[in-house]
Amino acid sequence: MMKNLIILFLLIIHSNANESLIAQKQNTLYVHNLIEIEEKIAQNFEKYLLDKLQIPTINNLINENYLGINFSVQNKMGSNIDFRDTNNLQIKYAIAKNEFINSEDYLILLYNRDLYRDYTTVNFVTTSDKKIDLTKSFVEFKLKSPEAMTIFSILKNGETILENCSAGLINKYCINDKKSIRWYNSSSNWIEYNIKEFNNGNITVSSENVIASEIEKLRLLKIGSYIFIKDKTKNIKMANDTSGNLQILKVD
C-alpha cells in the first residue's frame, strides 16, 4: 500500500513538472510571436508611410496590402497590440498582466532583449518592487529608409503631403518626382528638397523672393548646403552671424 502511494506521488510530481515545462515552452513561443507581430507592424508602418504619405493607425495596416486581413492584434498577456504614440514611433508594451510583469521573469527578459528585433527596441522602466512600469515602458520602432524619415518628419508636425505638385499650391508639401519634395509657400513660390537628404542636402528655390520670405525654413538647412535659384544663381548657407542672423553667400 505504501509503495503504491509513493509511486502515485512520484507520478503526480512528474506530471506537474511536464505540464510546467510545456507551459513554459508555450509562453516562450508566444513571446516570440509577440515580437514578430511588433516587427511586422513597424515594417508595414514604414511601407504605408511611403505609399500613402500618411501616418497609419493599426486598422489602416490590417488589409491585404500590408499586414493582411487575418492579422490579429489579440494578446493573452495584455491588452490588444496597438500604437502608444505614432508621433514618437511607439507601440504599447505588450506584456501587461500581473502574472507576467515581474522584471526578472524569463518571459520579460526574453521580450526585452534585442536578439530577435530588427525594427524595434524595448524601452522599459521598473518600479520599486521590480515590476514593469507600464505607464513609462513601451516598444520603440525605427524607420529604415531616409525617404520615410523625411516624410515622417514632415507629417508628425501636422503637415500634409500631396502625391503630386501643381502650380498654385499654397502652404503645402507635395511630391515633385520620386527624388524630390516641394514646399509651396503662401505666395505659391517653392523650395525643392532632395527627399533623401531634406534639410541636410542642397535645395532649389523658385525665385529670389524665397530667400527673403522663408528665413525660418532656410535656417533648418545644414551649413554648407547649396541654394540654387531656378535658372539663375548658386548660393551657399553660411553659419549665422554673431547676432544670429541667417547668412547666405552668393557663389555663382
User: Is 36 domain-assigned?
Assistant: yes
Residues whose CB falls within 8 Å of the CB of residue 190, separated by 6 or more in sequence, listed in order: 165, 169, 182, 183, 184, 205, 206, 210
User: Is 150 domain-assigned?
Assistant: no
Please identify which residue in the block is written with the cell numbers 507635395: 174
Give yes or no: residues 29 and 79 share one domain: yes
pLDDT tens, position by position, 88-101: 999 999 999 888 87
Give yes or no: residues 123 and 25 share one domain: yes
User: Is 79 domain-assigned?
Assistant: yes
Give yes or no: residues 39 and 135 share one domain: yes
Give yes or no: residues 42 and 121 share one domain: yes
Q: What is the spatial distance between Cα 240 and Cα 125, in angstroms, rounded to a whole number? A: 41
Starting at the edge strand found earlier in the chain, the sheet holding 138-141 runs: 83-85, 90-92, 138-141, 120-123
- Number of domains present in the structure of the chain: 2
Stretch among 13-27, 114-128, 133-147, 185-199 having the lowest mean pLDDT? 13-27
Which of 157, 158, 167, 162 has its CA nearest to residue 181?
162
User: Is 246 domain-assigned?
Assistant: yes
Full-model pTM: 0.86
**Which of 86, 113, 142 marks a domain boundary?**
142
Give yes or no: residues 165 and 122 share one domain: no
pLDDT at 2 over 90: no
Give yes or no: residues 72 and 12 share one domain: yes
**Which of 107, 142, 177 marks a domain boundary?**
142
Give yes or no: residues 127 and 19 share one domain: yes
Please state whether 198 falls in left (phi above 0), alpha (psi between -120 and 50) or beta: left
pLDDT tens, position by position, 202-215: 999 998 888 888 88
| Residue of higher predicted confidence among 111 and 7 | 111
Give yes or no: residues 170 and 112 share one domain: no
Task: Print the domain residue range for 167.
Answer: 160-250
Percentage of residues in the chain with pLDDT exceeding 70?
90
pLDDT tens, position by position, 54-75: 999 999 999 999 999 999 999 9
Give yes or no: residues 96 and 26 share one domain: yes
Give yes or no: residues 96 and 188 share one domain: no
User: Is 151 domain-assigned?
Assistant: no
Burial label for 108, CB within 10 Å (0-12, 13-18, 19+), is buried
Give yes or no: residues 115 and 165 share one domain: no
**Which of 114, 142, 170 marks a domain boundary?**
142
Give yes or no: residues 25 and 99 share one domain: yes
Q: Provide the pLDDT for residue 5.
A: 40
User: Is 149 domain-assigned?
Assistant: no
pLDDT tens, position by position, 229-241: 987 889 999 998 8
Q: Provide the pLDDT for residue 211.
A: 87
User: Is 220 domain-assigned?
Assistant: yes
* C-alpha 159: how far from chain center: 17
